Amino acid sequence: MIVALSGGIGGAKLALGLSHLLPPEELLIVANTGDDFEHLGLAISPDIDTLTYALAGLDNQELGWGRRDETWSFMETLAGIGGETWFRLGDRDLALHVERTRRLRAGESLSTVTTDIARRLGARPRILPMSDDPVRTRIRSDDGWIDFQHWFVRDQTRPPVHAIEFAGAAEARPQPGLLAALRARPRAVVICPSNPFISIEPILAVPGLRAAIAGCEAPVIAVSPIIAGQAVKGPTARMFGQAGIAPSAAAAAARYAGLLTHYVMEPGDDATGIAAQVIHAPTLMRSLEDKVALARAVLAAA
């Protein structure tokens, strides 16, 4: 079993690559739920859905987010009646949020709903939330604490980040299937090239998960989210800067200090000071071939 920890877009690319090389029963993808939120009364799980869409071949490749063949009638109408439109929900995407909200309110767990929806949409590997309990990433900026999606989407990551907290993490229990997989001697734990601060660290903040990973006796292989000091997408590099750290592959590796056995990073990037076995491999994933090739490099380390 390969256990892969992932945020949204970047992580989903590697997860898709891994899914092309592994039988579905040998891949467990653990989704960050720190950026889940309730919006318009709906339970929205952006990273779970991004992973589901990518693994089901339903991701919207033109937009780079959301699902393919999307329509926008709901959002257009909502705008016309004065609703909030800063978080764009497509008509097809909305079905997942409405159904998830209904099932959670009926008492089902997030992991049951996630697994079922992913299966019905055609995603073959198992996708599990890090926890069935709510964990909510919050950002402290100039005007105090704000909810993650307000910072990330509404404010387009513009407010400077002074601190990050994962509200609820201290009381959250690791998803039981994930814990069982880590205890059953996985072949490797893979940390996808997601933003460490807001995609991977919320997962590691769930009590017991970091220790279960450290203690599982499997290689722990991270892929750098930084190439030549830059993130492929999103605020990762800038967040290093705001934390007073020069963004680099090595700086990203340092976020996982004590966990890593292997680190996959871009050829040419400086590996000085990385406390893990370094594998240089192309980490920019544009095509499916790129994703599979990077997944192959990761599995070679495993």
Say whether residue 154 binds its own copies (CB under 8 A): no
Cα gap 111→117, rounded to integer Å: 10
Stretch that binds its own copies, among 74-82, 182-190, 232-240, 265-273 (CB under 8 A): 74-82
Does residue 116 belong to the site contacting its own copies (CB under 8 A)? yes
Binding to its own copies by residue 80, rule CB under 8 A?
yes
**Site map for its own copies, 96-115, x if CB under 8 A?**
x-xx-xx--x----------
Q: Which amino acid is at 26?
A: E
Residue holding tokens 């544009």?
286
In the shown chain, the binding pattern of residues 210 to 229 toward its own copies, with x for contact by CB under 8 A and - for none, equals --------------------
Binding of its own copies by 82 (CB under 8 A): yes
Handedness of CA 206, 207, 211, 212 (dihedral sign): negative
Assign 265 to helix, strand or coil: strand
CB of 153 to its own copies, least distance (A): 18
Tracing tokens 């709901």 back to the chain, one arrives at 74
Q: How many DSSP H helices and E strands does the chain contain? A: 12, 14
Identified binder of its own copies from the candidate list 20, 63, 95, 112, rule CB under 8 A: 95
Closer to its own copies at the Cβ: 65 or 74?
74
Which of 54/191 has CB closer to its own copies?
Answer: 54
Among 1, 21, 121, 299, binds its own copies (CB under 8 A): 121
Cβ distance to its own copies smaller for residue 48 or 231? 48
DSSP-based three-state secondary structure for 7: coil
- Which residue, 48 or 96, is less far from its own copies as judged by CB? 96
For 55, phi then psi, to 5°, come to -75, -20
What share of residues in the chain are helix, strand, coil (percent, to 5)?
40, 20, 40
CB of 81 to its own copies, least distance (A): 5
For the CA atoms of 7, 203, 270, 293, what is the dihedral angle to 10 degrees?
A: -50
Which has the closest alpha carbon to 179: 201, 203, 202?
203
The binding site for its own copies (CB under 8 A) comprises 40-42, 69-71, 73-78, 80-83, 90-96, 98-99, 101-102, 105, 116-117, 120-121
